[in-house]
Amino acid sequence: MMKTYQRTRIPAILVVAGLLLSSLLLEGVMRLFGPEWLRLRMREINIGQQVFFDSDEGWPLECSDSGCYRFTPRSEFKVITREYSHVVTIDESGARVSADSIHSEAVVSPFLGDSFTFGIGVEDDETFVSLLDTGSATDYLNLGIPGNSLPQHIDIVESRHGELGAPSLYVFAFFVGNDFQNLLESRNVADVGVSSSGGDSPDDPYPTLSSRFDWLSRINEYVLRDSVLRRLYLVQWARHKVLLLVNRARADIMDPIFLVMRTDRSYLSDARQYFEQELERLIDVARELQFEFVFVILPDRHQVNVDLLSLKRIYYGLSEDQIDNRLPNKALADALDNHDIIYIDITECMAGRDDVQDLYYLSDNHFTALGHQAAAACMATSGLEGIVRSKILLSD
């Protein structure tokens, strides 16, 4: 009996040892000769967890059922991640302070936007709104709130217009990276009803917005949080292969910008429809409250950094003809042109810089301080100040 046990134990030990040795060898090969997309992914992961989805926890935000509409006036809080740490100061109007806050009611022009406008990752005086405000004849007010999109921006204008001194002009910043998806999410929430299958929730044509792959998401989160697993190249390589298999089932689990850059999906056409509906609502509100407005289009990092775009395209298993990185900008331009709305798109300006790799954080997707400087410079070069001043004079 003992000899039989030893005869079976020794081969088992050898098999386990062989598997461990093979895994170690593969790990070494991956580290030395792995593909560039894997090296990029490991750099992103090991910087730390992204802050985008949970950065507003504990922030002094004032919210209603339709969303958050302002920060608590005269408050202060910290934003801390592994990539950046800074303090945020909120002024008496619930806006983020700028380097040159005058707040003269006659010339104030509020900026509506999300975390890019708000300036996650940089100091108060480093946001592009603050940089534009410095030395300008127009007093730009930073009303950016992370997580908000056009529906919430219009709600803010409707509810706060009188409180803000009835500004004659608003600037709406549209971040191409996720504002389209936010529109889809807002519409899905608003359209909750009975599905065709008889459930309590609506049919969801966007798998990335559903709980269809929750179990994979939980496993993925565990792997990314584990201090050992997240550092293993072999584990991340295997994780990537699972991602490709899941996406072949039309899950399309990927960065939101890739959904609207795809030429073989309907995400963008549906999102544009919702955008135009909100645009018509904005036009009605502007007519009722008697103000002018302009749009500024902010690019995603994959639209200005072609090397990053190529690596992430390969990572998601997409071919070159499945991606058009200017497709969402064209859709925005067509929609705005159809309604004779003035806008500035700074994508080409930022993409033409030699330091594109330094304009965004590596793991987090927000502008660095240099990115805000570039955005402000591109807005200035595109004539934003002149457009704003002419619109203000026209409304007066």
For the chain, give the longest Cα–Cα distance.
99
What is the distance between the alpha carbons of residues 227 and 44, in angstroms, rounded to a whole number? 14
Q: How many residues are recorded in the chain?
A: 396
CB 88 within 8 A of CB 77: yes
Mean pLDDT of 107-134: 94
Query: Which pair of structure tokens corresponds to residue 19?
Result: 């598997």
Q: How much of the chain is helix, strand and coil, in % rounded to 5?
A: 50, 15, 35
CB 42 within 8 A of CB 236: yes
What is the distance between the alpha carbons of residues 104 and 92, in angstroms, rounded to a whole number? 13
Phi and psi of 201, rounded to 5°? -120, 155
Greater pLDDT, 142 or 135? 142
Portion of the chain with pLDDT greater than 90, in percent: 52
Which candidate, 113, 83, 82, 81, places its Cα nearest to that of 96? 113
The domain locations on the chain are: 61-186+269-316+326-395
Greater pLDDT, 197 or 107? 107
Which candidate, 87, 96, 77, 84, places its Cα nearest to that of 51? 84
In the block, which residue shows the tokens 């509020």? 110
Under DSSP, the state recorded for 321 is G
pLDDT digits (tens, 9 = 90+) for 254-307: 889 999 999 988 889 989 999 999 999 999 999 999 999 999 999 999 999 999
Query: Which pair of structure tokens corresponds to residue 382?
Result: 């595109």
Which candidate, 299, 298, 295, places its Cα nearest to that of 391? 295
**What fold is seen in the domain 61-186+269-316+326-395?**
Rossmann fold (3.40.50)
pLDDT digits (tens, 9 = 90+) for 38-86: 777 777 776 654 443 344 567 899 988 778 899 999 999 999 888 899 9
CB 176 within 8 A of CB 257: yes
C-alpha distance across the termini of the chain, in Å: 99
What is the distance between the alpha carbons of residues 99 and 373, in angstroms, rounded to a whole number? 14
